[in-house]
Structure 1
Amino acid sequence: MEAREAETQSSIFSHAIASKELPKHFRDNRHVWVFIELERGRVHPVSIELLGEGRKLADKLGVQLAGVVIGGCETRSAIAEALAYGADFAYLVESPLLSDYRNEPFTKALSDLVILHKPEILLLGATSLGRDLAGSVATTLETGLTADCTELDVDADGSLAATRPTFGGSLLCTIYTLSCRPQMATVRPGVMAPPRRMSNAIGSVIRHDLMMIEDEIVTKVLDFRPDGQSETINLAYADIVVAGGLGIGTAENLEHVMVLARTIGGEFGCSRPLVQKGWMGFDRQIGQTGQTIRPKLYLAAGISGAVQHRVGVEGADLIVAINTDSNAPIFDFAHVAVVADAVDLLPALTTAFTRRLVPHTQTIQVERCHR
């Protein structure tokens, strides 16, 4: 009986999706847009990653890819970067009022562009700026927005399939925006692989004026103070990352993680439970609800590998997992699985790497001193 009811409900749900038609006034929406985020005049890496993903979506749909640049007077390099990383053309809204990010003028600029030129898909980075802007634009346009996506695709009907974790990271769900346009999604930095840069790329630039004056903007920028931690913690773009989980046992044992990371020239981090225990700060948390990383080497010590953690690390080139539980979920996606106690193995790895990394001449001098 339960199986029959589930089958019936599934049929009803499938029929509801199949019968949902896009309103006529949205059927002319075309092309894929990527918002090019500027961080103190430089293109944010997540925008480059999104251009690579946007290029794939545009090619599948048979449409063009556009970069959207909104800023003050330093926008020429951003347009060049958008074209170099795959955009066919660029939209530009340039005004002194856009020199610093403020929600009202940026929302007005992007919303007006969308209303006028009618894109089918609009992608933004899930940064502090991107999240703030995406929510305001989606609300203004009364369209759907899927946040913190880990995968983007288009189905046979050309609808954007935006996949993201749900229920605290225990499941993945794919969300469709069936009756509104544009279809909007944000993606966290480090989730998508960046495309190759093309030299001598060319494309047209379509300019649009900001239809707003300073008196209409409530917020004012008084000063800019960079986050003091941003210069010291670089998990999202580190080539080597060593992280610890509950299997590490105690807060004191995290020292083994940090020492190994420093020895091999990498960054260190942890899984969410350790942040919840207060053993490390949130800025060191790795996973869907923390930092998303794509290092060349990721070494996970005592981490079970829940879905939300997997989403944050599966872009790594090489994942080495150490765990005493041979059935730990992390072994399902790790490239190298080591069944061992991380507390014993990490110091041994540090010793082995130290010996290999010390120059031969220094090794000889040490030996002579001991003799």
Structure 2
Amino acid sequence: MSILVIAEHDNQTLNSATLHVVAAAQQIGGEVTVLVAGQNVHAVAEQAQHVAGVGRVLAADQAVYAHHLAENLSALVVDLANGYTHILAPSTTTGKNVLPRVAALLDVSMVTDIIAVNAANTFKRAIYAGNAIATVQSEERIILATVRTTAFDAVAAEGGSAQIETIDLAKDAGVSQFVTEEIIKTDRPELSAARVVVSGGRGVGSGENYHQVLDPLADKLGAALGASRAAVDAGFVPNDMQVGQTGKIVAPDLYIAAGISGAIQHLAGMKDSKVIVAINKDEEAPINAVADYWLVGDLNDVVPELVSKI
């Protein structure tokens, strides 16, 4: 068996999500090849080269892949597909944009958001917002799957010695073009990879109060900031901070939920956290059922007191 992993990166640094996908690939078995497509990606290819368990790195350094447009990247993957039994990508915005297009072009079905590998063609995935686990078997000639990164421990970023091969394929689908992007820069850890996450919900009351109350706690703990969909929909924080089924899936060592009732869609995005702490005025809030520790109280009083004790 041979497995192609589509690397996620920003043309400078390999995203840690790729390390989790490589871990899933190793459980499937066979040689693991990592595809690094972008522009001026020599540094990224070298990082992928040293990832433990990677046998080969394909570097597609072309301007048409600079912004990872799904139409162009999927065409590249299709051209490479026949040499592989499996093609994997992380269950991120990019992975979920590219891989379904590849599946359509190859005329095969795909398995989404796998959380465990039972066999080379058999996987587990969460359904019904994580309330049930389905075992799925694929008989396709090429198995395509997106990987829930929080379900697999990352492989080591060092220790590998893969060969780097340059590929000259460059196809511009001509149906989309990059216009602009706005990237929010922050000194905090990236939400999906943070060891500690502090999240706020509708209960924080406003965007101003969100930051006034939760920022000091996050600063003390070196935590990433997250939010429920209700807080995002209310305009308290931008949507890239949303945790949940329609946001980011996180599984930190510590998850602190302040003013979050715990709708099933939110729980689906954080219930795999190792320790969950809930702060809510409602003692019957659904999140209390999954919390390891929960405190009934006003977050405006509880959180500042907690900060003063740390």
The match for 1:303 among 235, 245, 260 is 260
Which residue does 1:27 correspond to in 2? none
Which residue does 1:250 correspond to in 2? 205
The match for 2:41 among 74, 97, 102 is 74
Mapping for residues 1-371 of structure 1, pairs under 5 Å: 30-58=1-29, 63-75=30-42, 77-115=44-82, 117-119=83-85, 121-147=86-112, 149=113, 151-155=115-119, 158-166=120-128, 169=129, 171-174=131-134, 176=136, 178-187=138-147, 192-199=152-159, 201-205=160-164, 208-210=167-169, 217-220=174-177, 225-231=180-186, 234-246=190-202, 248=203, 250-251=205-206, 254=210, 255-324=212-281, 328-353=285-310
Which residue does 1:364 correspond to in 2? none
Alignment length (residue pairs): 307
**Matched residues in 2 for 1:274 and 1:76: separation?**
38
Percent identical residues: 24
What residue ranges of structure 1 are gaps of 5+ in the alignment?
A: 1-29, 354-371
| 1:132 partner letter | N
| 1:349 partner letter | L
SS in 1 for 2:158: coil
Alignment TM-score, normalising by the size of structure 1:
0.69
Q: CA deviation at 1:276?
A: 3.2
Contact 2:117-2:123 at 8 Å conserved across structures: yes
Alignment TM-score, normalising by the size of structure 2:
0.81
Q: Which has the higher helix share?
A: 1
Cα deviation digits, residues 163-215 of structure 1 (max 9, x gap):
1344xx3644526353423222224565543222333x2234565541x566x
| 2:161 partner letter | I
RMSD of Structure 2 on Structure 1 (CA): 3.3
Largest Rg, 1 or 2: 1
| 1:180 partner letter | E
**Matched residues in 1 for 2:297 and 2:165: separation?**
58
Contact 2:57-2:164 at 8 Å conserved across structures: yes
Contact 1:293-1:316 at 8 Å conserved across structures: yes
